């Protein structure tokens, strides 16, 4: 049903292949638009967005380990490292 398509990246101008498998995935997810950027440019944009996030130092209220969190910790609420937070989520389920 799907066939590989060659598209042009709007960021760098390189041609890239939108494979039949990728097209099938897009269709399953209900995506209407084809990708406009090649994989390298998409990855670069994702990395840039991640690096723009400000991280704050904190100490885990459960195990005492130092960790970084994407929000400014306040004195009135506990902060947990990712491992302790995951354990708490498992216990709730």
Task: Encode pLDDT of 71-87 as tens digits.
Answer: 999 989 999 999 999 99
Q: What is the mean pLDDT of residues 59-80?
A: 93
* Rg of the chain, C-alpha, whole Å: 21
Looking at the structure, tell me whether residues 40 and 75 fall in a common domain. Answer: no
pLDDT at position 19 is: 97
Adjacent-strand bridge partners of 68: 57
Q: What is the pTM of this model?
A: 0.55
- Domain range enclosing 88: 56-92
Q: Do 9 and 42 share a domain, yes or no? A: yes
Tens digit of pLDDT for each residue in 28-55? 999 999 999 999 999 999 988 777 778 8
C-alpha dihedral sign at 83, 85, 89, 92: positive
> Both 62 and 78 in a single domain?
yes
C-alpha 1/C-alpha 28 separation (Å) is: 13
């Amino acid at each position: 049903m799907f066939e590989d398509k060659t598209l042009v990246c709007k960021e760098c101008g390189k041609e890239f292949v939108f494979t039949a498998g990728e097209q099938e995935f897009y269709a399953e997810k209900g995506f209407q638009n084809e990708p406009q950027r090649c994989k390298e440019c998409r990855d670069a944009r994702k990395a840039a967005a991640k690096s723009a996030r400000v991280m704050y130092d904190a100490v885990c209220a459960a195990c005492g380990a130092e960790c970084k969190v994407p929000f400014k910790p306040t004195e009135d609420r506990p902060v947990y490292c990712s491992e302790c937070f995951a354990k708490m989520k498992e216990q709730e389920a």
